[in-house]
Each structure stands twice: as C-alpha cells, then as structure tokens.
Amino acid sequence: MEFKYLNEQIIAEIKKCRERFPLKEQCIIPALHKILDVYRDIPQEAIEELSEYLQVPLADIEGIVTFYDMFRYRKNAKNHIRICRNLPCHLARYQNILEMIKKKTGADIGKNSPDGKWYIELVECIGSCGIAPAFLINDDLYDGSKIKTEEDIEEILGRYE
C-alpha cells in the first residue's frame, strides 16, 4: 500500500507500537505524536491514511485529534495563515495581528475556522523581519506594521473569500 503522508518514520513508529500493544487502537496516539513531529500539525490526509493503515474508523481518530489540544489539526482549510512569532515580530507585537485575525476568521492557532475557510499557524522566522510583524496568507506576504485596524485586516481577508 502506498501512502503519501505516512512516511517510513511514521510507519516504523506504528510497527514498533504494534509489537508492544495488543490493540491497534492503542497505537493511534503514538502515531499522532509522530505525525505531529514530522509535520508540526496533523494534516487531514495523514489521519485518513492512518485510519486506512490501522483499519480503525476515521471518526475515531478525528475524535482523538479534536479532543486533545496538543494535536493541531489541519483540516484542509481553504486558506492557510502563517504568522511569525520570532523575536523581531514578537517585539513588533505580532499578537495584535493574531488577535484581529482570530476575531475576524473565527479560527484559532492550530484549529480551522468553523466555516473551514481559515487555518492559523504560528511559525518561526519567515525571512521578512524588515516588515515585522510579518505574516503569510497562502503564498502572499504581508507587512503587519501597515495594519492598524480591524478594517485593514478585514479588507485583506476579503481578498481570499
């Protein structure tokens, strides 16, 4: 069976777990930890593959992922927002941008917005410290210092509706 998201490392972790535990369900959480290690969040496609690999219902795995906050769940949001949190962006108060984006989209860090349009991720330096606080919407880079009001954010988000 060919998997795109369950790479060798993840499959090795699952196999190791399966040798130790009798129930395949006992290997869901270790597998999710490994997926998180590899991708820094949990892509929807990875849990679909995990469900197929372990022969466990997808809904059971989704239930675990959404229950534990540590599993940041990337469920195919239409738009992916990446906000830099490193020192220059921290000093430039990226938190203000984050709060406005959270409010306007309904998404939270590592959680999709209820309408599935937005996913927010905090990331390390994106090489644009000169325009701190910097953030990306999909592949578009933004200079957060130019954003003063919620209307500014609203206008930008409107481009991706």
Among 44, 125, 136, 145, binds ligand FES (CB under 6 A): 125
Number of residues that bind ligand FES (CB under 6 A): 10
List 81, 134, 156, 157, residue binding ligand FES (CB under 6 A) = 134
Residue with smaller CB distance to ligand FES, 64 or 136: 136
Binds ligand FES by CB under 6 A, chosen from 11, 38, 64, 126: 126
How far apart CA 82 and CA 87 sit, in angstroms, is 16
Block residue for tokens 């466990």 = 56
Binding of ligand FES at residue 7 (CB under 6 A)?
Answer: no
Q: Does 136 bind ligand FES (CB under 6 A)?
A: no
Which two three-digit tokens encode residue 146?
């130019």
Residues 70-89 that bind ligand FES (CB under 6 A): 84, 86, 88-89
Per CB under 6 A, does 106 bind ligand FES?
no
Nearer to ligand FES, 51 or 96 (CB): 96
Q: Which long-range contacts (CB under 8 A, 24 or more apart) does 141-147 make?
A: 144/89, 144/92, 144/94, 144/96, 144/97, 145/92, 147/97, 147/100
Nearest Cα to Cα of residue 87 among 133, 131, 122, 121: 133
Binding of ligand FES by 122 (CB under 6 A): no
147 lies in the site for ligand FES, by CB under 6 A: no
Q: Smallest Cα–Cα separation from 147: which of 87, 95, 86?
A: 95
CA distances from 28 to 14, 66, 67, 130, 151 (A): 8, 13, 13, 42, 43
Residues lying near ligand FES in the complex (CB under 6 A) are found at 84, 86, 88-89, 125-126, 128-129, 132, 134
